[in-house]
Amino acid sequence: MAKLNQIIAVEKGVKSKSLQDVTAAHQKVQKPALLAGISRTYQPKDEEGEQLPPESTRVQVRAEDVLREMGASLTRLFDVTATKDWANCTARADVTVDGRTIVADVPVGYLLFLEKQLTELHAFVKKLPTLDAAEAWAQDPSTDWWKTDPVRTIRTKKVPRNHVKAEATEKHPAQVEVYYEDVPIGYWTTVKFSGALPARRVNELLDRVEKLQQAVKFAREDANGDEVTDQRVGDAVFGYLFG
């Protein structure tokens, strides 16, 4: 069984690592190019038409993966801090949401920590990328990305045409004006991909964070603030928030 001073000694390193992981998560989801994918194939209008290779870009980041990685990193920080605070005081209260106890017998010090973390999580979730509402999205079971229905567009080529402004005469040549006409030569079929989240999913996560924030505040008001027992709080918290 660990001593309290040992927990305090490792807490700084755990905080530092979790901060790096959270910063990395922020950076990933704020780069739209990493969440976007596309697949385009080209078909010439006829057999003599120009052949173009297909184009594709893979989704490099899925917001759900970032949530899972972030939750795993913060779980360790939540657990270490919980162990310290459980040993530091005896004033405790339950964190309860809609009649469900998320964390039981929470000390005042940890409730203060939880409030701060939930404020930061709320800001993070609020900035999560959402799917473009202008598109109709469906999940692609083969990639686990979101994708749109194929859209077919025409590829055109400018072809010169002659317009005779004045016919030739014995004294003057014909007056001809050259203009360009867009002529269809093939078709692009485009499918868009995304690793972003549906708006309803982000709203659901925000609602959970806000409910837990309120529950923590109520618990702190209720609470009245050697060797330690290891606490396992992170799994319960992130199982609720991101589950």
| pLDDT on residue 88 | 73
Which of residues 28 and 169 earns the better pLDDT score? 28
Which of residues 62 and 91 earns the better pLDDT score? 62
How far, in Å, CA of 140 to CA of 137, rounded? Answer: 9
Using the structure block, give the residue that is written with the tokens 């606490």: 231
Residue 107: strand pairing partners = 92
CA-closest candidate to residue 18, choices 91, 124, 128, 104: 124
| pLDDT on residue 171 | 77
pLDDT digit string (tens) for 46-85? 888 888 899 999 999 999 999 998 998 899 899 988 888 8
Phi–psi pair at 229, nearest 5 degrees: -105, 125
| pLDDT on residue 225 | 42
How far, in Å, CA of 234 to CA of 76, rounded? Answer: 7
Angle between helices 4-29 and 63-88 (to 10 degrees): 160
Which region among 1-10, 32-41, 94-103 has the lowest average model confidence (pLDDT)? Answer: 1-10
How far, in Å, CA of 4 to CA of 225, rounded? Answer: 19
Phi–psi pair at 33, nearest 5 degrees: -65, -30
Which region among 19-23, 117-121, 132-136, 226-230 has the lowest average model confidence (pLDDT)? Answer: 226-230
How far, in Å, CA of 238 to CA of 78, rounded? Answer: 10
pLDDT digit string (tens) for 124-167? 999 999 999 999 999 999 999 999 999 999 999 999 988 877 77
| Contacts for 100 with CB less than 8 Å, ≥ 6 apart | none
Reported confidence tier of residue 89, pLDDT bands at 50, 70, 90: low
pLDDT digit string (tens) for 159-191? 998 887 777 777 778 787 888 999 999 999 999
| pLDDT on residue 229 | 79
Asked whether 128 and 185 are in contact (CB, 8 A), the reply is no
How far, in Å, CA of 39 to CA of 142, rounded? Answer: 14
Asked whether 162 and 177 are in contact (CB, 8 A), the reply is yes
Reported confidence tier of residue 20, pLDDT bands at 50, 70, 90: very high
Q: Mean pLDDT of all residues in the chain?
A: 89
How far, in Å, CA of 125 to CA of 205, rounded? Answer: 7
How far, in Å, CA of 105 to CA of 161, rounded? Answer: 84
